[in-house]
Amino acid sequence: MSWLHHGLAKALMGEEKWDAAIAACQRAIELEESVSWFHFTLGEVFFKSGQWEGAIVPFRRAIELAPNFAWSYYYLGQALVAQEEVEAAIAVYQQGLRRQPTMAYLRSCLDYTLHLSDQDQRIQAYCLQAQADTQKRGDRPLRILMLTPYPTYPPKHGAITRMFYEMKALGSQHHLAIVSFVFIQSDYQLEKEIGHYCDLSITVMLGDAPPRQPQEPKLIHRYSSQRMRKILNKLKNANFDVVLCDFIYMAQYQEIFKDTYFVLGEHNIESQLLERCAEIKDNTELNKLATQTEAVKAFVESDFEAKLLADFEDEYWQKFNLRMVVSENDRQILNDRCKVGQTIIVNNGIDTQETIMVENTESKTILFIGTMNYFPNIDGALYFAEKILPIVWQQDPTISFCIAGATPPEAILDLTQDSRIQVVANPDNMSNVAKNCTLTIVPLRIGGGTRIKILHSMAMGLPVVSTSLGCEGLAIVDNVHLLIRDQPEAFATAILQLLSDQDLQKKLRLNGRQLVEQQYDWQEIFQQAEKQIVEGFRAWQQTRSRVD
């Protein structure tokens, strides 16, 4: 009978029915207390539901009953870390390694937890140094805290590239601290690289969110972290002049700070992105993709989630003194819904000095670039492969298609069953992929903000075919900088036209490169943004001085 209750607990845990799963585990333990599995599963339920304190006792009991089972040490250590009991977690991992010295994941957990101990010491030292800085705000560079949902290094794609150049601009002029989420424990090592551009770099492992509240948007909950809050509560003692949150889902941490100038960097209007997803989701493999890629789950039930997220945006936008968006379209949307504070346009860009032009007029390969765990990119690539590429192949079956980007899901990898389709996962240098291609495509049906992939393609000298939505917000002209086509037949025709017309290729290559050099260079973009942040802060500071 005890094992029946245990089996029920496992099933209920899979359905995220936490209270019922806990009750079933406790009943199994009442019937047969000496079974280590029952205690381990009880600890696992507490752990996965974010009840870290409750997990500690059952995991300790599981270790007493089965001291050679390494996973008990793993979960107990993780629960202790979540409770900020770092030294106790170190002792647990060391104990586990004495029992199982060859377990690599216990070794990596120990290394990470030792890093957390060092991290806490660095935070304390940073705050003490900041408090010792007795200069008046007007007499020194600003002390800025930047909160990002991903590490700002390496700058290989999309949002990370934007945040990297933002970091470079602010870090070169001010005292900058950066706190970023990481998704893989070993990525804490990126702190060293990021530290070259700022005074303090801290990474926080994502995954310790408390239970989701009924009206909490999935995107906001995904980036909710108890450890992040604890770290920021320590860092607020540094008395930052400016707190800059990249993306709306980092805005939830704004409330921790007081007497601070708040800046929000909106890479997209996220609720609009979900609304657009809701319009086409019946024609997508959204539910299937959500089982393959964690980041896609926020797009499930996108119509309902869009409303929740819009409410969150309306509540939090007004808490920021300055908001940065990437296009006039986004500025108008934000200003229509938020009547306080200031909203400015800070364009997306490309490093034109580092990006060399490529040319391959003999190739018949079409390139799609983008972060491939991001649903709009997944949908765009699948849409092209299913609706447009067959039309292209009717005219020329020798044309090939290359998808290049980070972390492609199974649905994208499956496309390579056709030998004419290639997937390049996590390319180190996109130019090495692009040099084998003739043109790039942006067949997006969902999106927001502006597409860095278009600017990157133009900087590399690759002609672009895009949907209207794919290139919205950019200062481009159809048939001058790129080709804009929305219907599958027209999109396919444009590709075939480009592949056969070298004069058109040359025209788009030169015009596109000239455009990004003149209007979309990262260094110039963030030099101007830095000035606007400082001007906004000084004006806010003067207003507060008059009030005081």
Measured CA to CA in angstroms, residue 71 lies from 59, 75, 92 at distances of 9, 6, 11
pLDDT at 450: 78
pLDDT at 113: 95
pLDDT at 207: 87
Give the Cα separation of 71 and 57 in Å (integer).
15
pLDDT at 293: 80
Options 3.40.50.300, 3.40.50.2000, 3.30.420.40, 2.40.10.10; which CATH number does 365-520 get?
3.40.50.2000
pLDDT at 95: 97
DSSP for 397-457, please give it: TT-EEEEEESS--HHHHGGGGSTTEEEEES-S-HHHHHTT-SEEEE--SS--S--HHHHHH
- The token pair that represents 103 in the structure block: 């377990």
| Residue where the block lists tokens 């990262």 | 522
Q: Would you list the domain boundaries of the chain?
A: 2-112, 141-345, 365-520
Give the Cα separation of 376 and 32 in Å (integer).
51
pLDDT at 47: 94
Contact 419, 400 (CB under 8 A): no
pLDDT at 539: 95
Q: What CATH number was assigned to the domain covering residues 141-345? A: 3.40.50.2000
pLDDT at 548: 55
Measured CA to CA in angstroms, residue 152 lies from 165, 194, 201, 455 at distances of 9, 7, 10, 19
Measured CA to CA in angstroms, residue 491 lies from 221, 224, 483 at distances of 38, 41, 9
Give the Cα separation of 178 and 250 in Å (integer).
13
Give the Cα separation of 497 and 207 in Å (integer).
48
User: Block means of pLDDT (10 residues each) for the chain, length 548 residues?
Assistant: 94 94 96 97 94 96 97 96 93 96 93 95 95 70 97 92 98 98 94 98 92 91 94 97 98 97 97 90 75 80 93 98 97 96 97 91 94 92 97 98 95 97 94 96 89 95 96 96 98 97 96 97 97 97 75
pLDDT at 528: 98
Measured CA to CA in angstroms, residue 537 lies from 247, 262, 267 at distances of 20, 9, 21
Give the Cα separation of 44 and 34 in Å (integer).
17
Contact 50, 227 (CB under 8 A): no
For residue 55, count other CB atoms closer than 10 A to its CB.
25
For residue 185, count other CB atoms closer than 10 A to its CB.
18
For residue 212, count other CB atoms closer than 10 A to its CB.
15
Q: What is the dihedral of CA 269, 274, 276, 278, to 10 degrees?
A: -170
SS3 291: helix
Length of the chain: 548
Q: Do the domains spanning 141-345 and 365-520 agree at the CATH topology level?
A: yes
pLDDT at 134: 64
2-112: CATH topology? 1.25.40
What are the residue ranges of helices labelled H in 15-51? Answer: 18-31, 36-48
